[in-house]
Structure 1
Amino acid sequence: MTDLLAKYIPTAAVNPVFELIKQHNVHLKIVNERVTRHGDYKKLTNGGHQITVNANLNKYRFLITLIHEIAHLVAFKDFGRSIKPHGKEWKHVFQQLMLPFIRPEIFPSSLLPLLAIHFKNPKASSDTDSKLSLGLKAYDPPNDKNYIFEIPYGGTFRLYNGKMFKRGNKRVKRYECLEISTGRIYLFNPNAEVEFIK
């Protein structure tokens, strides 16, 4: 298991992550990319716990995602199944589990201040923290995608499912975008990755 983990997370994180996996009886599955999520957690009928994480994540995003999902398991175990999935109990557990990993031996210096800010009040997804998301993207292999906030007003973009949109105005945090085929307005997070049609 440690050999497998070493392919996906920073070397200095392998042993402590392996201990968490053993301690909480986690069945870890590394799966092909799912566009809608980086990972998920579910309790198995045999009482075990399954966590899936996308194989295509860079090692820093993979580590954050894995600890995020272990935090769901621990929060449900400690506080019961009736808590909100990303409520205060989960946030507290996620902070406590993540704290030992926010070190220069594990994360590059460019990410440490972004992680420190993010983990004061962790969000349901690191993708909704635009500064952290951009910081993490710097460690992804190059791709042809742009963030919504990089698309000019009125610019056209395509989603992974082929749907085409025109970027509109920014509301408080998200962008209004017009689906070209239906004329319907959808709201997008500023750092959703899309294909810009020039």
Structure 2
Amino acid sequence: MSSVLEKYLPEHAVKPVFQLIVDHQVHLKIVNERVTRHGDYRSSAGKHEITVNANLNKYRFLMTLIHEIAHLVAFEKYGRNIKPHGNEWKYVFQQLMVPYIRPEIFPNHLLPLLARHFRNPSASSDTDTTLSLALKQYDPANDKHYVFEVPYGGLFRIKNGKIFRKGAQRTKRFECEEVATRKVYLFNPNAEVELLPG
């Protein structure tokens, strides 16, 4: 398992993460990309299964794996009746993640963004636009754009093939109208989309 982790994690995170996996008897599965989530935790019959998407860059992979282990630890420590991303989980996620927020593991420019994010971690790092965009620098190059880069009134396509026209920005997100139905949806600025001509 340790040699497999070397492919997906920053070098100095491999040994401590492997120990976490062993200590909590995690069955880790690295799976093909799922559009809706980076990772998942399930427990059945006393077995702890965590899945993490194989396509994540090593920094996002680390954060996702620790995020899922935090679910396991929070449920064991506080019981099954807690909210999945409530205060107990946030506290455990902070405690598990802090030892990794150091320059041997993350690039220096990410450290202050991570420190800020982990003061009050959210259910998904994708909702922290600044951190999400900084992490995406380490993804393989692709031809995708972000919603915030699409010009006002511009057209874009999302993964399921639906086409939208970009509208005004609300507080944090953009109102975008689905061309086929004229329904308005809100998009995070850092949502990846395919820019269309016209």
TM-score, with normalisation over the residues of structure 1? 0.97
Question: What root-mean-square deviation, in Å, do the aligned CA atoms of Structure 1 and Structure 2 show?
Answer: 0.8
Matched to 2:112, the amino acid is P
**Corresponding residue for 2:188?**
189
CA distance, structure 2, for counterparts of residue 123 and residue 85 of structure 1: 11
**Corresponding residue for 1:108?**
107
Q: Which runs of at least 4 in structure 1 moved beyond 4 Å after TM superposition?
A: none
* Number of aligned residues: 197
Partner-residue secondary structure (3-state), 2:109: coil
Deviations 1:25-82 (A, max 9, x none): 11100000111111111112x2111110000000000000000010111111111111
User: 1:40 and 2:7 equivalent?
Assistant: no
CA distance, structure 2, for counterparts of residue 82 and residue 165 of structure 1: 39
Shift of 1:188: 1.2
**Corresponding residue for 1:4?**
4
Matched to 2:141, the amino acid is P
Shift of 1:189: 1.3
**Corresponding residue for 2:30?**
30
Shift of 1:18: 0.6
Q: Which moved more, 1:172-181 or 1:4-13?
A: 172-181
Deviations 1:121-142 (A, max 9, x none): 1111111101101110111111
Matched to 2:17, the amino acid is V
CA distance, structure 2, for counterparts of residue 30 and residue 185 of structure 1: 35
Matches within 5 A, 1:1-198: 1-44=1-44, 46-198=45-197
CA distance, structure 2, for counterparts of residue 15 and residue 103 of structure 1: 15
Partner-residue secondary structure (3-state), 1:43: strand
CA distance, structure 2, for counterparts of residue 85 and residue 129 of structure 1: 18
TM-score, with normalisation over the residues of structure 2? 0.97
Partner-residue secondary structure (3-state), 1:51: strand
CA distance, structure 2, for counterparts of residue 26 and residue 13 of structure 1: 17
Matched to 2:24, the amino acid is H
Matched to 1:77, the amino acid is E
